[in-house]
Amino acid sequence: QLRERQRDWERLLSNPAWGQLIETLQAQADALQKEVLYRPLTCDADVYQRERQAGRLIGLLSVTDTVTTLQSEIEVEIDRLKQGDSK
């Protein structure tokens, strides 16, 4: 079952649609980052909007990190099971 999950992730990441999704997310993140970093605050309400934008930015950027973490967890579990089988 772990090998199947690993293959599923590999298929997803090799799918051209995944590449398009990541490009789109990165473009959105780039635009949002410029807004968060360079747009001046003109009133108190801007602070709250900026915080929401920063939260969105973190969410957009976390997608690839989440996938990497999930893949690593699967690999660690596979290695752990291999070590248990060899004992």
Q: Are 47 and 53 in contact (CB under 8 A)?
A: no
Query: Which structure tokens are listed for 49?
Result: 């909007």
pLDDT digits (tens, 9 = 90+) for 3-17: 999 999 999 999 999
CA distance 14 to 5: 14
Q: pTM of the prediction?
A: 0.75
Task: Report which residue type is found at 70.
Answer: L
pLDDT digit string, tens, across residues 22-61:
999 999 999 999 999 999 999 998 999 999 999 999 999 9
